[in-house]
Amino acid sequence: MKKSKLSILSVLMLALALFLAACGGGGNDEGETNGDTGGDDASNENGGEEAEAEEDVPDFLSMLTGGTGGTYYPLGGEMAQIITSETGIQTDSPSSNASADNVISLQEGEAELAFVQTDVIAFAKEGINAFEGNPVDNVLAIGSLYPETVQIVTTVDSGIESVADLAGKKVSVGAPGSGTYINAEQIFEAYDMTMDDVDAQHLDFDESTGGIQDGNIDAAFITAGTPTGAVEGLGATADVYVVPIEQDKIDAIIEEYPYYAEDTIPAGTYTGIDEDIKTVAVLAMLAVTDSLSEDVVYDITKAIYDNADTITHSKGEFITPETGVEGIGIDFHPGAERYFKEAGVLD
C-alpha cells in the first residue's frame, strides 16, 4: 500500500515536473511572444513615428499676400489653389499689408507662408529699417517669383514728369516700414530728397489710385508686378503717367542697393503709357517659417514650380525653377533647397 502511495506520489511529482517544464517552455515561447510583442511595440513605436510624421503635415496653411489692388493677392489666390490641389493641404491666401507686416506675422507664428520683397526680408534678417532691434531668425526662403516694379504713378494731367517734380506734392509712399515706403526713401535719396520734401500719405494701392482719381493726392509709389490691378483701375478713368527714373539715378540706386535691378514698363501697359518707362525693380519671393518640415516644404515648392504653367496671371510666366533661385539673400528652407537641387538649378 505504502509502495502504491509512493508510486502515485512519484507520478504526481513527475507530472508536476513536466508541468513546470512546460511552463518553462511556455516562458521561452512567451519570450518569443514578448519578442513579437516587442515587435508589436516596435511596430507601435514605428506607428507612433508615422503618426508623428503625419502630425507634421498640417491640415491647413495660411499664405499671406498683399492688398487686393496689388499683384500678390490675385497671384497668391491661384498659388494657394495649386498647393491645395497638389499637396492635399488646404491653403488660403488672405489679403494683408504686404511685405514688412507679412514677415512679422511669420515671425510671430500667425501664418506659415507669405509673399515678401527680397529687400524687405534682407532687412528683417539684418534687423534694420522696420526691423531695427528685432532681427527675424525663423523665416527661410522658398524661392523668387517675379520682378516687382517700382512705379511712381500719377496722371498725364498732373504736370508731374520727374521725381524732382514730386517736391511739395501729396504723395502716397505706403505704410512706414513697408517695402514700398523703403523703396520711396531710397529713390528720394538718389535725388538728394527725403520724405520731408513731400507731403507723405500712407495709403494702400487701391486708396492711392483712388486718391489720385479723386484729386486728393498727386502721385503714389506702387511697388508691384505690372500690370497692377489698382493702376489699371485708374487707367479706366484717366490717362496714367508713370514717372521715369533717369539712367544715372538707376545706376546709383543699384550700386548702393544691389538687390535692385533695372526694369522697364513697356508702352501700352496702362492707358496713357505710349512709350517705355525706365525704372527699378526688386524681386517678389515666397517665404516660409522654419516650423514646417522639409517634406512639407518640398511638396509645396514642387507644387508651385512644377505647375506654374497653369497660372493664368501674367506673372506666372516668370515663375520657373531657374528664376526661383535668383536674388535670394537668405537661406533656403531645406525642403525648397532639395527641390531646386533635384531640378539641377542649385548646387
- Band the pLDDT of 54: cuts 50, 70, 90: low
Query: Which of 243, 238, 231 lies closest to 269, judged by CA?
Result: 231
Kindly give the interhelix angle for 294-306 and 72-87, rounded to the nearest 10 degrees: 120
Which residues, 6 or more positions from 122, have their beta carbon under 8 angstroms from its beta carbon? 259, 329, 330
The pLDDT-based confidence of 283 (bands split at 50, 70, 90) is very high
**302 pLDDT higher than 70:** yes
Residues 6+ apart with CB under 8 A from 244: 162, 277, 278, 279
Q: How large is the average pLDDT for residues 283-288?
A: 97
Would you state the pLDDT for residue 129? 85
User: Are the C-beta atoms of residues 269 and 71 closer than 8 Å to each other?
Assistant: no
Task: Compute the distance between CA of residue 259 and CA of residue 113 in angstroms, rounded to an integer.
Answer: 22
12 or 269, greater pLDDT: 269
User: Which domains, and CATH codes, for the chain?
Assistant: 60-145+284-342 (3.40.190.10), 148-282 (3.40.190.10)
pTM score, whole prediction:
0.74
Specify whether the CB–CB gap between 268 and 276 falls below 8 A: no
Average pLDDT over residues 56-72: 93
Tens-digit pLDDT profile for residues 203-246: 999 999 999 999 999 999 999 999 999 999 999 999 999 999 99
**What are the tens digits of pLDDT across the range 8-47?**
444 444 444 444 444 444 433 323 323 333 344 444 445 5
In angstroms, the CA 153 to CA 218 distance is 9
In this structure, how many other beta carbons lie within 10 angstroms of the beta carbon of residue 68?
A: 14
Distance between CA 230 and CA 270 in Å, rounded? 11
Give me the chain's average pLDDT, please: 87
Q: How far apart are the first and last CA of the chain?
A: 96
